[in-house]
Each structure stands twice: as structure tokens, then as C-alpha cells.
Amino acid sequence: MKSQFQINENLLDRIISVAYGDSNFLDKIRINLLASRNNEVKRLLSEYIVTARAIRSLEQDECPVDILENVKNKTLKENNLFSPVIKFLYALLYKPVLTAAAVLILISGMLLFILFNKTNDNQYSEAQIKLAEKQVKQTLVLVNKIFYRTANKVEYDILKEQVAKPVHEGISTINDLFKGG
Amino acid sequence: MLKMLSNLKYKLLLKQFKNRVYNYSIYMLKNRMDADDVTQEVLIKLWKNLDSFNMNAASSYVMKMTHNLCIDYLRRRNISLKRELEIDNIFEETYTNVNDLNNPELMISRENLNQRLKEAIENLPVNLKSIFVMYQLQGMKYKEISKALDLPLNSVKVYLMRARIKLQKELKLLKDEIPIPN
């Protein structure tokens, strides 16, 4: 049966796509399964994989400097493209270390500005301070009450009724079962 | 300020496209001097059309310009597509790896493979080669290629597949001559 197996155009396209790595996941699985069962598919797939790998390893050639110099002479110099400001902006965009340094300097500057310019302009009267203290105390009492009630609720209602009681019942049932056994 | 921004824009474009334009031209024209001329022309044209330039479609625009110029060059200089290839040495230096210098056998086979690949790519018909180079070597997307070459998306996919098959056939002819390094 295997010798009658024919690779049609559609299957070949899929094999090639898998080899070049631009097929979908399902095709990858299908073709790999097929390759494991059929030698012709396996051979084709491995051949294309080798070529795809070799193509990926081809590197781009660098554009010669003299071309860039010519272009620069014809366009850039008259427009002052390589002015210090442009050079700096360009470096900021394309050199991560410089960008990081610039950001660091900016953040440090902002922090220093905030720290050294922080002045305490707020002046409060004696009465205002006393009122604030009183309000803080009241707030703390309220919070304390809430905590106390919550603790009671957890200890007596939740733990005792909702947790301890069912556990106790469960243990009793197990005991009864053991006794019965 | 505007002038400064457009200068910056141009410099970014140069950085991004100079090598792509150059490499594409080499593959299309099979001749380094012509590729130099096309690259220079494209880069100057880019500068001249900078104001009407859409950065979002930069890749398609630049490659379209490059492709059209290459076709012009091919026509103007009457380069026959079937002529014997001139094997220039520009790629040899690129693929030299210091670690492989001690292994002459591997170096020779790699050089041969690269040379073989380069020749096989250059030998593809222009319509297949342009798509193959843009997709496989320059990492362009189907949509970008479709825009650059004014071709329907499906044609791009079909031509790419044909190029891969043709390339494989070309390489297969030389398969037994030199072992392919992993």
C-alpha cells in the first residue's frame, strides 16, 4: 500500500511549509506523523529542512561605506543631518545604554528636585491639633471595637458552630462505626 | 524643528533599510556595481520623497522602489536572465567564521554551500526571486510583499512556494557533490 502513496501538490506545499517553519500547528503534527510512517514524506521533509536551515543561516551583506558617504554628500550635509542635536536624538533612539543613562539621569534629577524642594508650609493652631488628636483617638476606638467583634464572631460563631461542631460529629460517626465493626 | 525631525526620520530609514536595499539589489542584479548604483539611487530618492513618506508602510514603499529600479536596470543594461552567472566574492568574507578556520574541510563545504545557495537563488526567475528574497532573506510579510510588488496576496504565496520548490531542485542537482554541514 505504501508504494502506491502519491504526494500531491497540496501535500508537497504543506511539507515545504512545515520545513520552512511557517505552517500552522496542526499541519506540523500531521506532517510529522505522516513522515514517521512514510519514507518518501520523511525524505522530502528532511531535504527541505536542510535547505531552509541553510537559507536562514545566510547573513545580509553590509551596505558599503562609500555608498553611504556618497548619499551623505548628496543629501545630508547640505541639510545638516549630522548636527549634534540629531546625532544625540539618533543615539538616544538606537543606543540602549545611552537611553538608559539618560532616563537614569532624568529620574535622579526629578527625585533630587522633589526631595530638596519639599518644604513644610503647613502651620496648624493648637486647637486644630487637639481636634485632630481627638478624632484619631475616636477612630482608633471604633477600629478596636470592630476588631473585638470580629474576633468574637470568629471564635464563638464560626469556629464553634461551623467548624468544631461538624468535625466533632464526624469523629463521633467514625467512632460509632469502629465500635460497630 | 520640522527639518530636524525629517532629518532624524531619514537617518532612521537609512539605518533600517540600507542593507536590505543593497542585498536585494545584489540578488536581483547579480552584479555588485549595479547593486551599488541602485542602492545609492534608492537612498537618494528616499531623501527626496521624505515629506510624502508614510512610515507605517515604509518596508513596502522602500522595497517597491528598489524592485522597480532593479527591473529598470535589468532592462536598461539588457542583462539576460539566462546568462551565465558571474560569481563575485562579496559573500565569501561574510560567511567566514573564526572557529571554523581550523577545519578547512568544513570551511570549504560551508563556502560551497553558501555559494551554491546564492547561485541557486540568483538563478531563480525574477518574479519568484523577488518574492523569495523579500520573504526568506529580508523577513517581509506577505502583505508587505503584496504591496511592494502590486501582486495579490495569494499570488505571493503561490510564487513563494514555487520558488522554494525550484530552489530545492537546483540544489538537488549538486547534492551529491558536496556534503551539507549541519
**ipTM score over 0.90, yes or no:** no
Q: Would you state the torsion angle of the CA atoms of residues A52, A54, A59, A61, taken in this order, to the nearest 10 degrees? A: -100
Question: What is the residue type of B46?
Answer: L
Q: State residue B24's pLDDT score.
A: 93
Helices (H), chain A: 9-20, 25-37, 39-57, 65-71, 84-94, 96-116, 126-152, 165-180
Res. A56 pLDDT band, cuts 50 70 90 = confident
Q: State residue A9's pLDDT score.
A: 86
Asked whether the beta carbons of residue B136 and residue A85 sit closer than 8 angstroms, the reply is no
- Asked whether residue A4 falls in the same domain as residue A48, the answer is yes
pLDDT at B138 over 60: yes
- Asked whether residue A30 falls in the same domain as residue A9, the answer is yes
pLDDT one-digit tens code per residue, B168-181 = 988 877 665 555 44
- Chosen domain end from A42, A57, A72: A57
- Asked whether residue A6 falls in the same domain as residue A40, the answer is yes
Range of the domain at A79: 64-118
- Asked whether residue A46 falls in the same domain as residue A69, the answer is no
Strongest mean pLDDT among A93-97, A173-177, B63-67: B63-67
Closest partner residue to B12 among A68, A76, A93, by Cβ?
A: A93
Distance CA A69, CA A74 (A): 9
Average pLDDT, chain A: 83
Tell me how close the Cα of A82 comes to any Cα of chain B, in angstroms. 8
Res. B78 pLDDT band, cuts 50 70 90 = low
**What's the whole-number mean pLDDT along residues A92-108?**
80
pLDDT at B146 over 90: yes
**What's the whole-number mean pLDDT along residues B136-147?**
91
pLDDT at B85 over 80: no
Distance CA B69, CA B79 (A): 14
Nine cell digits for residue B116:
551554491
Q: Of A45-59, A70-84, A132-146, B141-155, where does mean pLDDT reach its minimum?
A: A70-84
Asked whether the beta carbons of residue A55 and residue B136 sit closer than 8 angstroms, the reply is yes
- Asked whether residue A128 falls in the same domain as residue A114, the answer is no
- Asked whether residue A47 falls in the same domain as residue A68, the answer is no
* DSSP code string of B88-128: -SHHHHHT--GGGGG-HHHHHHHHHHHHHHHHHHHHS-HHH
Helices (H), chain B: 2-29, 32-48, 58-76, 90-94, 104-123, 126-132, 142-149, 153-173
Asked whether the beta carbons of residue B11 and residue A71 sit closer than 8 angstroms, the reply is no
- Asked whether residue A136 falls in the same domain as residue A96, the answer is no
Q: How many domains does chain A have?
A: 3
**What's the whole-number mean pLDDT along residues A22-39?**
89
- Asked whether residue A129 falls in the same domain as residue A157, the answer is yes
Q: Of A116-120, A140-144, B44-48, B141-145, where does mean pLDDT reach its minimum?
A: A116-120
Question: What is the residue type of B169?
Answer: K
Q: Of A61-65, A160-164, B103-107, where does mean pLDDT reach its minimum?
A: B103-107
**What's the whole-number mean pLDDT along residues A51-65?**
87
Q: What percent of chain A has pLDDT over 70?
A: 83
- Chosen domain end from A78, A101, A118: A118
- Asked whether residue A108 falls in the same domain as residue A162, the answer is no
Asked whether the beta carbons of residue B117 and residue A58 sit closer than 8 angstroms, the reply is yes
Give A76's contacts in chain B (Cβ within 8 Å): 7, 10, 47
Asked whether the beta carbons of residue A60 and residue B164 sit closer than 8 angstroms, the reply is no
- Asked whether residue A114 falls in the same domain as residue A126, the answer is no
Question: Distance between alpha carbon A177 and the CA centroid of its chain, in Å?
Answer: 54
**What's the whole-number mean pLDDT along residues A16-21?**
92
Q: Is the Cα dihedral A98, A103, A108, A110 positive or negative?
A: positive
**What's the whole-number mean pLDDT along residues A89-118?**
80
Give A21's contacts in chain B (Cβ within 8 Å): none
- Asked whether residue A34 falls in the same domain as residue A87, the answer is no
Q: State residue B175's pLDDT score.
A: 60
Distance CA A60, CA B86 (A): 19
3-state secondary structure of B31: coil
pLDDT one-digit tens code per residue, A104-143 = 899 888 888 888 876 666 678 888 999 999 999 999 999 9
Tell me how close the Cα of B66 comes to any Cα of chain A, in angstroms. 14
